[in-house]
Amino acid sequence: MSELIVYKSNGLVVSRYDLTEQETKLISYGIAKLNPTLTNPTKEDRTVIIPYKEYAEFMGMSDKLAWTNLNNAISNLMSRTIEIINPDPKAEITKIIFQWVNRAEFNQQNQAVELTFSKEIKPFLFNLNEFVKYKLEHIKSLNNKYSMRFYEILLKLLGETKKTKADVEVPLSEFKDMLVLEANYPTYKQFNQRILKMIVNDVNNNSNLNVSFTTKGRPVDTLVFSIEKQEQKKIIEEIAPVEPKRKTHQQRLDEERITKTKYILDDHKAGKITLSEKEFDLLCNMYKHYYDNGSFSLQGKITSKVIEFFDSVLNKYLPRMPKRR
């Protein structure tokens, strides 16, 4: 597989949209398969084919999990939109809203999905003047949907300075608006504890950027990011062979759980087993939680007692991992 590189216009980077982690990775993967140099792309030029096995190999997941993630992400993407805000208050058109994609075709025989990007998104993905460019490899290990947005925003800010290391300022309200968090975390303290610290650590640990930040204002109204591209680290990684990361015990356990969940729900739907209403609701909720977060992590309503009950339901209907169907 050739190296996958993402090109996005600066306007798209700072637009308003809200995708899950898996949806963001899928969209980025699809964008990396486009030819951004085209001046007048046709529908065929806007269409990409994503084989399940290829996606699974790149993302470091099982074929079954890749199919699950692709199926769910694409189904939800059909209703996801992008908002481009015109900063000029006197402009006749102040905002445009459009879809990421408008067509998806699942080919069971070829084990692939064909995805067509919308006509309206063309100016933001093709024949670009001001844009960010990065290797897809640099974001695939990020663990949070906000981290991926943050990474692109940092690249855009750094690119505008024409340097590989710079300090840049962003109004706090503008930053939260780009992440579609303007109505959440009303105080800076809450935003810092719940979002900002988490995504800064994620980007530092799992990408080719180093970032730290300070603040201005009382109360805080401006974020000052110190950004540096780890060019030397990138060169070393590309030259030296790197041992593939082994999956943690927790990752292997979660993959087994999601596989069992899918099989049990399929069997229930086919009438092979009958789940109680409580069991069915639990599996559906846990399935969605995994899809949104990429793990069965303890957060929100997912407590250790919930996980314990979840495991008991899985083992009740599938005490052992089934053979691939």
Does residue 323 fall inside a structural domain?
no
Model confidence, pTM: 0.70
Q: Are residues 20 and 110 in the same domain?
A: yes
Task: Name residues whose C-beta falls within 8 Å of residue 231's C-beta, 6 or more positions apart in sequence.
Answer: 164, 208
Residue-wise pLDDT for 130-163, tens only, equals: 999 999 999 988 988 999 999 999 999 999 999 8
pLDDT at 26 over 90: yes
Residue-wise pLDDT for 257-277, tens only, equals: 888 888 888 788 778 899 898
pLDDT at 252: 81
pLDDT top residue among 131 and 296: 131
Does residue 325 fall inside a structural domain?
no
Does residue 322 fall inside a structural domain?
no
pLDDT top residue among 299 and 177: 177
Residue 65: domain span: 1-140
Of 123, 140, 157, the last residue of a domain is 140
pLDDT at 1: 55
The helix (H) or strand (E) run that includes residue 228 is: strand 222-229
Q: For the domain that residue 182 is a member of, what is the CATH number?
A: 1.10.10.10
Q: Are residues 52 and 97 in the same domain?
A: yes
Q: Is the CB of residue 126 less than 8 Å from the CB of residue 39?
A: yes
Nearest CA-CA partner of 307 in 249, 262, 254, 265: 254
pLDDT at 109: 82
Question: In the predicted model, what is the mean pLDDT of the chain?
Answer: 86
Domain count within the chain: 3
Residue-wise pLDDT for 77-107, tens only, equals: 999 999 998 878 788 888 999 999 999 998 8
Of 88, 109, 140, the last residue of a domain is 140
